[in-house]
Amino acid sequence: MSGGLTGIVRDVIAEFLLHERPPLSVRTSLIPHKDEPVLNLASNRYLALSGGFLFFPVMPFFQKMPAFSDIYIVFFYKGRGVYFTGSLQRVKNGSIFALPNEVFKIADPVSGMQALSAKIYIPGLSGIQAEGRLKNGYDIFENRLWLGFSKDEAVASAPFFRSAASLKSAILPPLCRQITDKTKRILYIPGKKIPDRNFFPYPVSITVDDISETDMFEIKTELRDAEYDVYIPLALSEDESVHTVLGLRARLPMTSPSDIQEKLFLLPVCRFLGEIPKSTAAVRGRAEPLSVLCLTDSFIILGGFVIKNTGGFSPPFPLSKGGEYTMILKIAESRLCRVIKITMSVSKIYKNQTGSSVCAVCTFSKIKEEDRRFLYEKFYRTLYK
C-alpha cells in the first residue's frame, strides 16, 4: 500500500490518536461488506500505551480473529476520516496494535456524475419510476449546507428562503459579522447569549470557545439588540467571504437545535428552486434523471425540472407527496461500489412559482443498520452512535 502520510504529518495524527483518544471504528476491511463485522469503540473502551501502541481488552470481535490479523483503525481527525492499517497481536489480557509509519486518508467519493446513482421503484409495480444522479455544484456530503452558495444564487433563492424555510435577510453587527465570517459557523444565541457548547451532531454553531475574552464584552453588547435567534452565513466556500446572512426568529418559547437543523436541510431546496430550469435531455420529452441534492442517514432530497416542450408534452415530476417508493442507491467508494436498498416515503414537495422546478424530501422508513451507519458517518463525519 502506498500514498500514505508519513513524517511530521503522520506523527501529529498519531499523537492526536494517542492523547485525545477519539472514538474508533475497528474493521477487517476499509469498506465492510454487509456480512463483515465492524466494532465501534468509545474512548473508554481502549487504551493508548507509550511507544505508539493501542491496547484492546478481550472482546468477542478480537477473539474470533486469527493471531496477527490485519485490521483497519478508522477515526476522524479534524473532521477528516483517516486510518491506520496493520497487524493485530494477541496478548494475555487482550490485543495490541502497533501504530505503523503511515496513516491514510479515507478517499472521497469519485468525482463526476457516476459517483452516485439511484433507481426508484413503486412497490408492487415493475419498471423504474425514476432515476437519480449527482448534480454539478452540489456536494451531498458537505454537512455545512450554508456553504456552496454564490451571491447570485442567494439572490435567486431569496423568495424560497422566505416561503419554504421562514428565513429572512438579516444584518449582523460588526464584531458578530467578523467572527461569523472567520468561523463560517452559524450564530445561535438562545436567550441572546453565546452558548457554552455546540448542540448539534457536528460543528454547526459558534460557541464561547470561538471568542476571545477581550471580544466577549462587546459581543454581549451587540447581541442585546439582536432581532433573530439564529443567523446563518452563506458563502461560496470555506475560503470565501460571507456574502449573505439569513435570520430565523424564534418560535415560542425559543428556536431549538432541531428547528434549526430542519431549516438547514431546506437550504439545498431553496437553492435548486432558485435555478433557471433547463432541459439536458438528448430526446425531447424524455424524463430526465432527478438530481440528488442532499443525502443523510434518514432522508434524501431530490430535485427535478418539468420543462414545457414545443410539442406540448412535459413528463410530470415522478414522485408524489405521501407516496412510498423503493430506492436502489449506488455510491462509488474508491474502487468499490456500495449498493444500498431503501424504502422511503415523500414527506414534503416544494415547487417554484411556475411549477417548473420541484423538490421532494423523502424520508427513509426501512434501511439496513450498517447502511444507515455508513451514510451517517459520510454526512456527519463522526462515528455512528
pLDDT at 61: 85
- Please determine, for residue 108, whether its predicted confidence score (pLDDT) is greater than 70: no
- Please determine, for residue 235, whether its predicted confidence score (pLDDT) is greater than 90: yes
More confident residue, 2 or 258: 258
- Please determine, for residue 279, whether its predicted confidence score (pLDDT) is greater than 50: no
> Tens digits of per-residue pLDDT, 13-38?
999 999 989 989 888 888 766 556 78
| Minimum mean pLDDT range among 47-61, 285-299, 307-321 | 307-321
Terminus-to-terminus CA distance in the chain, angstroms? 30
pLDDT at 255: 76
pLDDT at 144: 93
Mean pLDDT of 99-128: 75
> Tens digits of per-residue pLDDT, 180-225?
999 999 999 988 899 999 999 888 999 999 998 889 999 999 999 8
The H or E element that residue 174 is part of is: helix 174-183
Cell numbers at residue 98, please? 502497533
pLDDT category of residue 281 using cuts at 50, 70 and 90: very low
pLDDT category of residue 68 using cuts at 50, 70 and 90: confident
The H or E element that residue 138 is part of is: none
- Decide if 227 contacts 162 (C-beta within 8 A): no
Mean pLDDT of 371-385: 88
Q: Where are the alpha helices (DSSP H) in 184-266?
A: 213-223, 257-264
Cell numbers at residue 57, please? 481488552
- Decide if 146 contacts 264 (C-beta within 8 A): yes
Q: What is the mean pLDDT of the chain?
A: 86
Q: Please tell me the distance from the alpha carbon of residue 367 to that of residue 346, in angstroms, as a whole number.
A: 15
- Please determine, for residue 335, whether its predicted confidence score (pLDDT) is greater than 90: no
pLDDT category of residue 116 using cuts at 50, 70 and 90: confident
Q: What percent of the chain has pLDDT over 70?
A: 89
E strand residue ranges, the chain = 24-27, 38-41, 47-49, 53-57, 69-77, 80-91, 94-98, 104-105, 116-121, 130-134, 168-169, 187-188, 230-234, 244-248, 290-295, 299-305, 324-333, 336-351, 357-367
- Decide if 277 contacts 307 (C-beta within 8 A): yes
- Please determine, for residue 307, whether its predicted confidence score (pLDDT) is greater than 80: no
Cell numbers at residue 116, please? 452516485
Cell numbers at residue 153, please? 444564487
Q: Where are the alpha helices (DSSP H) in 52-150?
A: 60-63
pLDDT at 253: 64
pTM over 0.75: no
Q: Please tell me the distance from the alpha carbon of residue 64 to that of residue 67, in angstroms, as a whole number.
A: 9
Mean pLDDT of 332-352: 89
More confident residue, 361 or 133: 361
pLDDT category of residue 63 using cuts at 50, 70 and 90: confident
